[in-house]
Structure 1
Amino acid sequence: MEVDLNQPISQLIRAARRERKLSQYTLARELATVSGRPTVTRDLVARWERGHQIPRLGTRRWLSVVLQVPQERLDQAAAAARRRNRLGHAVVTDNAPATPGPARRAQGTPALLPVFRSRVQAGILAATLLNPDRSFSLTELAEHSGSSLASVDKENKLLEKAGILTSRREGTIRLMRASGDGPLARPLAELLRLTYGVPQIIGEEFGCVRGVVRILVGGVWADRFAGIPGPAPESIELLVSLQPGVAADEQALHIAARRAEQRLKRPVSFSLAAPERGLDGLQIPRQRPGHPVVEIAPIPPRQAPLTSGVGLNGHDVVLQLVRAGHLDLVGGPAANGQPFLDLAAKHISSAERLAEVSPDSAFLLLAKSAQLIGAGLLARQGLRPALSAPEQVVGTVVAAQFGHQFSQIELLRQRAKELDMPTSRDSHILPSEAKTYLGTVRTLLAAAREVAGKLALFH
């Protein structure tokens, strides 16, 4: 098999698998058999081939055996992928600068946001602050930033001391995530969202549109992303390719562009590639010859794309809070309210068992359940409270959107706050109160499940 020395490992694995006439399922099964690791699945192979994950050194040894590719070649391809990968699901695919000067080295100043001293630091902050609900291992952060574990570990310790990140351990693995308490988190997240957030936000919004399979970004943003110094981009230009045979949903595409504009605070324009040609050999409109193009993979939601909606009286309230920075627009897997509602149901079941023996504990579980219900309805619309949002934002928004019944969310939160003062005469809940609140929250959950099925992404 002829190979390109700059070919990333995603393309090498796909080409070698096809040459051996293996499906992704068959490759996963053979790898699981020879390595003795049942955790190797078809989904993992798919992530490798999409470039979303780079196989580790130990896994590459078994890939060498199954695919009959020298391990040195796989290691070179893994290194090439790390050089080409940047934050989110974005890869410089065409016309990258031929000479990787200091600005293009992993340790150099990032041209996209040169206020940071290195790409490693910017990469870590972008991954964690743009995904505050996720924890990242050192290996994942090294892949995001294109650097070594030692460099990532050093930066993590500095960021943790500054209160920007926090860590915890699961066995021998140290996991890092954004700290929501520090005063720097919100402004840093905003800076990163407007720069390094482009791949994630474009991938999430257009990933909700049926049939979108590939996205190219050009223009000034692609130049900065590839490491070419210059002024900040004023707009984002896209070329979108649809799956052959799928008709373009113009309304959904324009909604995706409009939501991306709101999140990125700059114009987002797109053109559709001809289905029979895809993106190969095509140029983005107004793209300058010889300048890089960045490929972004669509990030589909964990649920079906949202296409239907209901009239909401709270639209203006939501829009006001989005503009004030108290609500963030989110997409992809984060635009999924089901996990919130499922966890609320578990809390309600636990509260039922505690209502008689420990009514205070039962009530706190119910108050948390109500917040989860509200957060689930927001997530279903692609909304999430900002890091610096007031505590009452969830209850306020949901009550404005869905009526007086959901004002109970804020009332329960306020009552729970009273329990934080053990010396207050209102700091205890009677068993009869706990049972009453139990019925209230159950009703809220049932209403939320009914409403959630009718919601679309907010735009």
Structure 2
Amino acid sequence: MNREFHESAGQPPIGQLIRSARQQLHLSQYALADRLARVSGRPTVGRDRVARWERGRQVPRREWRRWLAVVLEIPPDRLDAGAVAARQQNRLGQAVATTRGTEHSGTRRQQGTPALLPVFRSRVQAGILAATLLNPHRAFSLTELADHAGGSLASVSKEAKLLEEAGILVTRHEGAIRLMRAASDKPTIGPLTELIRVTYGVPQIIGEEFSRVAAVARIALVGTWAERFAGVLGPEPDAIQLRLTARPDATPDPAELHAAATRARRRLHRPVQFSVAPTRDHTRLPHRRAATGTLALPRQRSATAVVRIAPFEESAAPVGDAWKAGADVIARLLSSGQLELFSGPGADGRPYFDAAQRHLTAAVEVAPGSPRSAFILVCQAAHTIGCGLLAAQGLRPAAGSSGDVVSQSTIAQFGEQFEHLELLRQRQATLNYPTGRDNTVTAEDVDGALPAIEALLSTARDIALRLDLFV
């Protein structure tokens, strides 16, 4: 037992290896199970088996480790060592596996403390914060957080409870489902979000930006950041390095790649370096480990040169005519932390415009009986229209930003016709104080504001069709 422990103490359990490799390949547990079924010829393998492997409830047999090595691009001997570490961990308990370390190629590994940013309690906690703080408008179930953070339901529940007690997360229940999201009214949320964004938020941000490039088939994080994320101690990464794989039938547009790199650099405050290579079928070829610790692609009989593109300078980024006006104001608000960039499915103004329309419809219905309530709905619709124009560009107010950031951004880009957003914002602020002089609302106020905001909504829908992500 002692000999086995010393051989595996510096090696992460196989569940961690599988999860880390799967996430680097941007595969879901379902996708991994599907690939295993295809290469092994065994259609019975499913997502539940992958989940048991990753959570350490089951160690994959040797035959499955061979197929995992092919699909996940991990040397078989490393998976074998991970299996030994997992069995040892199950016998001696989690404390042994996470507190002991051994020298490996001159570098000390620690599995308990996150090497990327050791101020956090654990990688599970960091994963929960990355999921919730970088998606402030979304609520997560425990199962979703476990998938994001790569931990068991028990550990995720424990860490989430601690974060809730600290006021970082808020919880609500829908039946038996417990949903958690980031708090929005704490002064510490903004700085904590920025800290998470530049560390454990790297995979999400890189995935959001580069997945929008049509011909990119796979995105892999490599280099120093990937080593820190994997638990190898060392210097702080000074750049984010990517390996992009193109689809066999297409070539990524360089302008789109440069725009994605520029946005990622703005969000991560680090240079983003990437290379692009065509898709290669290496499922039948032996694995080879590169000197840097990343998986090297095996040699092919007909070699194809890798296209290397240097980090893109922001000043040369393509700028769309639709949002060239006011770009200096947006850049200033981004640099001051009032605005933040985001991407993915949420970068769409249509849901905001639809919500604004519902506010206006409700205002018409309640106006006869409660002009004050109707006017507040109109004010909220105006604010939502501004948020929609920003969202269409991948922009949103940052946590703790000033109240006028939406109207200020919208007016700077789209002109004085949107000054109603600021006027109604100021008027709504006075309505929050019942004893103020300007807190009386009449039917005439509603009749004057409603047509103006309805016209702005129509204009905003037209403008949004011409918008692209802000670079």
Give TM class, smaller chain.
Answer: 0.7 to 0.9
- Aligned counterpart for 2:445 among listed residues 413, 419, 433: 433
Q: Structure 2 length as normaliser, TM-score?
A: 0.75
Query: 2: CA distance between counterparts of 1:274 and 1:70?
Result: 29
The reply on whether 1:102 has 2:98 as its aligned counterpart is: yes
Larger Rg: 2
Query: 1: CA distance between counterparts of 2:439 and 2:283?
Result: 63
- Aligned counterpart for 1:14 among listed residues 17, 35, 46: 35
Matched residue type, 2:240: I
Query: 2: CA distance between counterparts of 1:289 and 1:444?
Result: 58
Tell me which residue corresponds to 1:343. Answer: 355
Is the CA contact 2:378–2:453 (under 8 Å) kept in the aligned structure 1? yes
Tell me which residue corresponds to 2:399. Answer: 387
Tell me which residue corresponds to 2:105. Answer: none
The reply on whether 1:253 has 2:257 as its aligned counterpart is: yes
Tell me which residue corresponds to 1:112. Answer: 116
Tell me which residue corresponds to 1:158. Answer: 162
Tell me which residue corresponds to 2:325. Answer: 313
Query: 1: CA distance between counterparts of 2:320 and 2:409?
Result: 20
Mean Cα deviation higher: 100-109 or 394-403 = 100-109
Calculate the aligned-residue CA RMSD, in Å: 3.4
Tell me which residue corresponds to 1:407. Answer: 419
- Aligned counterpart for 2:224 among listed residues 216, 220, 227: 220
Shift of 1:146: 2.1
Mean Cα deviation higher: 270-279 or 413-422 = 270-279
The reply on whether 1:292 has 2:294 as its aligned counterpart is: yes
Shift of 1:144: 1.9
Matched residue type, 1:235: A
Shift of 1:13: 2.8
Matched residue type, 2:199: T
The 1:360–1:119 alpha-carbon spacing in structure 2 relative to 1, beyond 3 Å, is same
Is the CA contact 1:395–1:409 (under 8 Å) kept in the aligned structure 2? yes
The 1:218–1:293 alpha-carbon spacing in structure 2 relative to 1, beyond 3 Å, is farther
Map 1:192-207; keep pairs closer than 5 Å: 192-207=196-211
The reply on whether 1:68 has 2:44 as its aligned counterpart is: yes
Query: 2: CA distance between counterparts of 1:71 and 1:202?
Result: 25
Tell me which residue corresponds to 1:322. Answer: 334
Tell me which residue corresponds to 1:367. Answer: 379
Paired-residue identity, %: 47
- Aligned counterpart for 2:270 among listed residues 240, 252, 266: 266
Query: 1: CA distance between counterparts of 2:378 and 2:111?
Result: 48
**Structure 1 unaligned residues grouped into runs of 5+:** 21-63, 84-90, 295-305
Secondary structure of 2:208's counterpart equals helix
**Structure 2 unaligned residues grouped into runs of 5+:** 1-13, 23-28, 60-70, 86-96, 102-108, 297-317
Shift of 1:271: 1.1
Matched residue type, 1:370: A
Matched residue type, 1:450: D
Number of positions where the alignment pairs a residue of Structure 1 with one of Structure 2: 391
Matched residue type, 2:98: P
Query: 1: CA distance between counterparts of 2:397 and 2:362?
Result: 26
Shift of 1:232: 1.2
The 1:230–1:181 alpha-carbon spacing in structure 2 relative to 1, beyond 3 Å, is same
The 1:311–1:136 alpha-carbon spacing in structure 2 relative to 1, beyond 3 Å, is closer
Secondary structure of 2:144's counterpart equals helix
Shift of 1:356: 2.0
Query: 2: CA distance between counterparts of 1:399 and 1:174?
Result: 40
Query: 1: CA distance between counterparts of 2:266 and 2:461?
Result: 28
Q: Structure 1 length as normaliser, TM-score?
A: 0.77
Secondary structure of 1:310's counterpart equals helix
- Aligned counterpart for 1:188 among listed residues 177, 186, 192: 192
Query: 1: CA distance between counterparts of 2:418 and 2:286?
Result: 50
The 1:316–1:126 alpha-carbon spacing in structure 2 relative to 1, beyond 3 Å, is same
Shift of 1:279: 11
Query: 2: CA distance between counterparts of 1:102 and 1:371?
Result: 49
Shift of 1:184: 1.4
Matched residue type, 2:379: A
Query: 2: CA distance between counterparts of 1:81 and 1:212?
Result: 35
Is the CA contact 2:33–2:45 (under 8 Å) kept in the aligned structure 1? no
Shift of 1:248: 2.4
Is the CA contact 1:310–1:455 (under 8 Å) kept in the aligned structure 2? yes
